[in-house]
Structure 1
């Protein structure tokens, strides 16, 4: 049997693409039920309870599966978890006052920031094909976001774009700072950080209560409430699904260059749209479908131009 070159073993682009596809399918399904969770509870209680559930699942699975949860470099794992946690807080928070398409388009500026940070902070070479792929993928996001969805790009996209920048930095940190960590270690750090954010948010809202709109409109402003059955069930589904999905995403960034893996994450948009159609009979417009086609094209370019 031929020996696999070290560069191919260290940077397995196709394996990373498969991991990201699994991540998109799982997260696309679970995130479609955030609307159900938001109707009964708040963002902070959701993150706190999901963090507890996720750590309980990891704790039970650690010994039989031989998982190592303790970090080798606590500072690196904590820094990476803080960056990704802040990105997700902004992302979920924006969903309270911006359409999902607007928030997603802002978040998916992350590959642009990955390229910029890779080039200017870490000195990585970025070829013209990867630059072209990112621009094609971002054009696809713009088409998904455009007039056919009833929204325009404006000042309100600043926060989602900030989430995209933090998300990109966290993805780079996964490879640059945490290459020696296991996927389960990074998962634990991610959920512990979001859980702590949730506890802090609930305490703050208990000390300084504010008027809370009914239903999903009060998602960000709602403090701790008596958990309902649907909230508990779908939060548990979120915890389990996120463990598997985010674990696959982390693994992808560990085995391939961040500037390549980032482009594959665009697939979460069509995956979410497909689940929205299957679950809620929501249909995308022809313009949005074209944008999703460009997103797939961008990922294909990266695969064909891999080393």
Structure 2
């Protein structure tokens, strides 16, 4: 059994979240002229190519023990990421990340409602706290309500379902096979969107999800590659953290993505977070930390599930 290294584990997860927080802020370079569907299709091809190289080098395996289970599980986190990246073109990244990080709250509710599990008062308090925080972030003012602001929470729900499905259906599957299934499903979604989405799309970021295909020149391919490589580096660092530390403690550090994503959004795009939304993000992070520390099963709100050990 390997020796736990909590300090190195925390540093690895923080580095992974720093990387993801930075690369996700490059999406506006893509959304201005590109297509959401094109982005997922091309990036998935790049990521799968990198995974083939990694496996050919002797690391991991792409073979799934239960292919249909992996495919079924992949539907949910891939759908969550489809919404996540689509929202990045029209909402502040801090709001989008906060919505995704409601996933541990939904996992608690799913485990109670559909799996017959019981939870203590602290996790119930965390669920209420987290949803109050989510409402503070999206600010549901009837006079200025934007339904799009609720979509990141839908992404959090879908990711939670995927996390539950991972444990229920995919126990024993390798990290590389689950990662390949996830990006493969995103590539399929992208390909479907390319052929299904039709009609005139507005110029600029507002047309990101409404274009079937955008410009595919050198700069666009560069940003696709940055996203593909950045995602794999970030995920690898997070996996390393889970291998070196206790899962419940490591999961707490994933909430640093709220800080890193908002910081880079401020540096690169001048996006600021309103005080009420900032307080909501703190509540979501605290709620998630409580759930992680009080749970024997930990759900990572990152891009793919925790590594199978």
CA distance in 2, matches of 1:105, 1:275: 15
CA, structure 1 residues 178+47, in 2 after alignment: closer, same or farther (shift >3 Å)? Answer: same
- Does residue 279 (structure 1) correspond to residue 272 (structure 2)? The answer is no
- Does residue 201 (structure 1) correspond to residue 202 (structure 2)? The answer is no
- Does residue 53 (structure 1) correspond to residue 42 (structure 2)? The answer is no
* Structure 2 unaligned regions, length at least 5: 297-309
TM-score, normalised to structure 1, is 0.79
CA distance in 2, matches of 1:151, 1:68: 52
What residue number does 1:137 align with?
130
> Does the CA-based 8 Å contact 2:80-2:155 persist in structure 1?
yes
> Does the CA-based 8 Å contact 1:184-1:247 persist in structure 2?
no
TM-score, normalised to structure 2, is 0.78
> Does the CA-based 8 Å contact 1:26-1:245 persist in structure 2?
yes
CA distance in 1, matches of 2:161, 2:18: 23
What residue number does 2:112 align with?
119
CA, structure 1 residues 296+169, in 2 after alignment: closer, same or farther (shift >3 Å)? Answer: closer
- Does residue 31 (structure 1) correspond to residue 24 (structure 2)? The answer is yes
RMSD value, Cα = 3.7
CA distance in 2, matches of 1:178, 1:14: 29
CA distance in 2, matches of 1:173, 1:252: 22
- What secondary structure, in the 3-state scheme, does the structure 1 residue paired with 2:210 have? coil
CA distance in 1, matches of 2:148, 2:157: 15
Deviations 1:235-281 (A, max 9, x none): 111111222334566788999889x9877654422221112123334
What residue number does 1:185 align with?
177
Moved more, 47-56 or 84-93: 84-93
CA, structure 1 residues 61+171, in 2 after alignment: closer, same or farther (shift >3 Å)? Answer: same
CA, structure 1 residues 249+129, in 2 after alignment: closer, same or farther (shift >3 Å)? Answer: farther
1:162 pairs with one of 144, 154, 158: 154
1:40 pairs with one of 28, 33, 38: 33
Matches within 5 A, 1:258-277: 265-277=254-266
Matches within 5 A, 1:246-261: 246-247=235-236
> Does the CA-based 8 Å contact 1:114-1:262 persist in structure 2?
no
CA distance in 2, matches of 1:192, 1:243: 14
Deviation at 1:219, TM superposition (A): 0.6
CA distance in 1, matches of 2:42, 2:53: 17
> Does the CA-based 8 Å contact 1:187-1:246 persist in structure 2?
no
Deviations 1:6-37 (A, max 9, x none): xxx9xx99998776544432221111111110
* Structure 1 unaligned regions, length at least 5: none
- Does residue 219 (structure 1) correspond to residue 208 (structure 2)? The answer is yes
Matched length: 294
> Does the CA-based 8 Å contact 2:42-2:187 persist in structure 1?
yes
